[in-house]
Amino acid sequence: MQTVGSKEGFAKRDFAPWTDRTLRPLLRIEGVGKRFGAFTAVDRLSLDIYQGEFFALLGPSGCGKTTLLRMIAGFEQPNAGRILLDGVDLVAVPPHRRPVNMMFQSYALFPHLTVEGNVAFGLKQEGLPRSQIAERVAEMLKLVKLEEFGRRKPHELSGGQRQRVALARSLVKRPRVLLLDEPMAALDKKLRGETQFELMDLQRRLGLTFIIVTHDQSEAMMVADRIAVMDRGRLMQVAPPAEIYEQPNSRWVADFIGSVNLFEGRVGGDGTSVEGTALGRLRLAARVAAEPGAAVWVAVRPEKLRISPDQQPTPENAVAATLVDIAYLGDLSILRLRTDSGVTLQATLANTGQAALPGIGSGDRLLLSFPPEAAIVLTQ
Amino acid sequence: MSQKPRRSFLAKLVVQGPYAWLVAFFLIPFLIVLKISLSQTAIAQPPYTPVLDVSAGWRGLAGFFAGLSLDNYAFLGSDPLYFLSYMKSLEIAAVSTLLLLAIGYPIAYAMTRTPQKMQAMLVLLVILPFWTSFLIRIYAWMNILQHDGPLNRLLLALDVVREPPVWLSTNTAVYIGIVYSYLPFMVLPLYATLEKLDESLLEAAADLGCPRWKRFWLITLPLSAPGVIAGSLLCFIPAVGEFVIPDLLGGSRTAMIGQTIWTEFFANKDWPTASAVAVVLVCLLVTPIVIFQYQTMRRAERD
């Protein structure tokens, strides 16, 4: 179920330490499990995270991603397994002695301390000289563009400013790993977008290792080098965002990340086609990793469906359908269509023209097709 | 365009009711006491002059005001008995409040650490003593603390003491009585504040390298300050004017201000002096209340 290494070419930047088998991971999670009574929050999962990586734990609520993060921070004790940082097991180390810091979803700013007091808190625990603390606090506040706000109390700041204080406070000790628990959940959409870019920039500049927990797939895809998709305490797939999207390893992941049209069928005798689907026989670009006759699913992303007037001669991997409705989203429109056999399909159109909608409307007969390369074959 | 919404009679009553209550049962009685404190003793009914006689018209009113003086306040200053009595009251109230904090804080803190289901039960236990009359509970303490009472018998049995110590008619007995009686008033506001404390703040402090005991000093204690202030005021203010506990458990040497007022009023039949003592007491106690009000307002502004 779990992809250990992943194919090169999907990494976002020229950075893919997980493909280098000789490299030792910074953080190694080894068979870690956590139960709360009869409920299994984290189901003995293993995961390697490398120095300098921006890693995202993504999943629906209750999938165990926050519990995993809290075990790394030390707020929850695992029932099984080891958490190794630089080869040293952290499980027995209390949270205040772990070289990791956490940014809380609620920010958890100390309401009785000023912005400076909040940021200085961690350094004071280290017993650094006062001048050095002041210097590093000032440096940190500059980094998050809050120089002017050092003397304010948290309640005198806006939501975005509070978020930056929380970030500065968790970064000031230069943690080996920074844990971010839904750091943008409380921001409005526009501010969230800006903050995501800033966070990426900050992570690259500081060269730190970030682990972010989020339920927002676009956020995970945007910021992370690799994403671990989780469900019910287990890892479903661990890979760079593009690989997760283009080559999901299961129907669950394909359906969870983005939208998808799924067609069930059987591998054809030639091994490069799927037969008996709702669209008939579908031709593939490559050989399927399954025996002929085995049940598989073909997934096609909505934006990869080509739409053309029905009159055209029928090419391969195509089906005629009736447009049911169009949802106009500005940058793109989502089309819902129904084939003559009653299968509902979804397609998206980029609104590149001047007109608000392409010249089509409900009830129109359209031909949907996709190239063999767009088909994703899933065996589970 | 902004027209004041017309309030119904009932709405007005709801808004102004509390004020009317305060005027009727606090302000007017206080003004009467203030007036008596400016009067002179007289062997009469009521035992002071002047008495306001509305039927005498303007002349009577002028004569009434001419008869008022600050003599009683000057008298309070001339006799050290009153000063010592105030000091004793403040001292006993202050020490009691510190003892109450020292005992009440750990209790309130422990209550917030117990499972949620148990907490309601514990709150009930804290207020359970109110089911029994206050006076009966103080009498019970008289029994416990008397020379051959249960406490001394226990101490002798455990070989803690050779001779049974004297408890009754001492300051210790007064402290025991006050701490016992006022404990719920300290525990409940502290519990209310500590219970609201955001657990993630303690986690954040731990995450930033702060060990457990330091988290208490740097996070829990400062953030429970409102509860500490509220609990302390709720105990300190009534403790200063406490009459029953020092009268029943304390000795003649521990004359608190409540007893002084009682003596002036009932034994000496000196209503004006008793009133003057009471007015000075009110002024003394208003100071901490004003400080508290200021604190609360500042906090309200902050939110």
What local confidence, expressed as pLDDT, does residue B302 receive?
Answer: 65
Nearest to B144 by CA among B249, B244, B242, B245: B249
What local confidence, expressed as pLDDT, does residue B4 receive?
Answer: 59
Residue B39 is encoded by which pair of tokens?
A: 């009067």
Chain A residues with CB-CB distance to B205 below 8 A: 110, 121
Please answer whether residues B248 and B268 qualify as being in contact, where contact means their C-beta atoms are separated by less than 8 angstroms: no
What local confidence, expressed as pLDDT, does residue B303 receive?
Answer: 59
Judge: A108–B204 Cβ closer than 8 Å, yes or no. Answer: yes
In three-state form (DSSP H/G/I as H, E/B as E, the rest C), the secondary structure along A192-241 is HHHHHHHHHHHHHHHCCEEEEEECCHHHHHHHCCEEEEEECCEEEEEECH
The fold adopted by the segment(s) A259-378 is OB fold (Dihydrolipoamide Acetyltransferase, E2P) (2.40.50)
Hey, of B207, B298, B299, which one would you mutate to test binding to chain A, going by the most A CBs within 10 A of its CB? B207
Pairing of strands A306-309, A365-369: antiparallel
The shortest C-alpha distance from A104 to chain B (Å) reads 8
Q: How far apart are CA B145 and CA B165, in angstroms?
A: 9
Angle at A276 between CA A272 and CA A281, to 5 degrees: 45
Chain B residues with CB-CB distance to A94 below 8 A: 206, 211
Please answer whether residues A25 and A87 qualify as being in contact, where contact means their C-beta atoms are separated by less than 8 angstroms: no
Chain A residues with CB-CB distance to B298 below 8 A: none
Nearest to A378 by CA among A273, A231, A264: A264
- C-alpha to C-alpha distances, B264 to A46, A357, B79, B278, nearest whole angstrom: 82, 94, 13, 11
For B78-302, give the CATH class.
mainly alpha
ipTM for the assembly: 0.83
What local confidence, expressed as pLDDT, does residue B62 receive?
Answer: 82
What local confidence, expressed as pLDDT, does residue B112 receive?
Answer: 94
Chain A residues with CB-CB distance to B209 below 8 A: 96-97, 122, 125-126, 173
Which neighbouring-strand residues pair with A332?
A: A350
Judge: B204–A102 Cβ closer than 8 Å, yes or no. Answer: yes
Please answer whether residues B164 and B152 qualify as being in contact, where contact means their C-beta atoms are separated by less than 8 angstroms: yes
A155 interfacial to chain B (CB closer than 8 Å): yes
**Cβ–Cβ pairs < 8 A, chains A and B:** 61
Chain B residues with CB-CB distance to A106 below 8 A: 198, 200
What local confidence, expressed as pLDDT, does residue A4 receive?
Answer: 42
User: B88 by DSSP, 3-state: which?
Assistant: helix
Q: How far apart are CA A179 and CA A190, in angstroms?
A: 23
Tell whether the model's pLDDT for residue B165 goes beyond 70: yes
- Note which residues in 115-134 of chain A have CB less than 8 A from chain B: 121-122, 125-126
When pLDDT is cut at 50, 70 and 90, the band that residue B235 belongs to is very high
Give the CATH number of domain A17-99+175-253; options: 2.60.120.20, 3.40.50.2300, 3.20.20.70, 3.40.50.300.
3.40.50.300
Boundaries of every domain in chain A: 17-99+175-253, 259-378
Nearest chain A residue to B207, by CA: A96
Judge: B302–A122 Cβ closer than 8 Å, yes or no. Answer: no
What local confidence, expressed as pLDDT, does residue A363 receive?
Answer: 80
Between B75 and B295, the higher pLDDT residue: B75
Judge: B208–A169 Cβ closer than 8 Å, yes or no. Answer: yes
Nearest chain A residue to B209, by CA: A96
Of the given ranges (A53-67, A306-320, B128-142, B213-227), which has the lowest mean pLDDT? Answer: A306-320
- pLDDT tens sequence across B275-300: 999 999 998 888 878 877 887 788 77
The shortest C-alpha distance from B189 to chain A (Å) reads 19
What local confidence, expressed as pLDDT, does residue A320 receive?
Answer: 83
Residue B215 is encoded by which pair of tokens?
A: 């988290």
Residue A352 is encoded by which pair of tokens?
A: 């590149």
What local confidence, expressed as pLDDT, does residue A91 receive?
Answer: 92
Tell whether the model's pLDDT for residue B1 goes beyond 60: no
**Prior bond to B46 cis, omega within 30?**
yes
Q: How far apart are CA B124 and CA A277, in angstroms?
A: 67
Judge: A104–B211 Cβ closer than 8 Å, yes or no. Answer: no
> Across the 380 residues of chain A, what is the mean pLDDT of every consecutive 10-residue run?
48 81 91 92 93 94 93 94 93 93 94 95 93 94 92 92 94 94 88 89 91 92 93 93 91 91 85 80 81 86 84 75 86 88 87 66 83 86
- DSSP H or E run through A370: none
Residue A73: which of B207, B223, B302 has the nearest Cβ?
B207
Q: How far apart are CA A180 and CA A171, in angstroms?
A: 11
What local confidence, expressed as pLDDT, does residue B46 receive?
Answer: 82
DSSP B8: P
Q: For all residues of chain B together, what is the average pLDDT?
A: 89
Residue A112: which of B200, B204, B222 has the nearest Cβ?
B222
What local confidence, expressed as pLDDT, does residue A9 receive?
Answer: 65
What local confidence, expressed as pLDDT, does residue A1 receive?
Answer: 37
Chain B residues with CB-CB distance to A155 below 8 A: 302-303
Residue A61 is encoded by which pair of tokens?
A: 């609520």
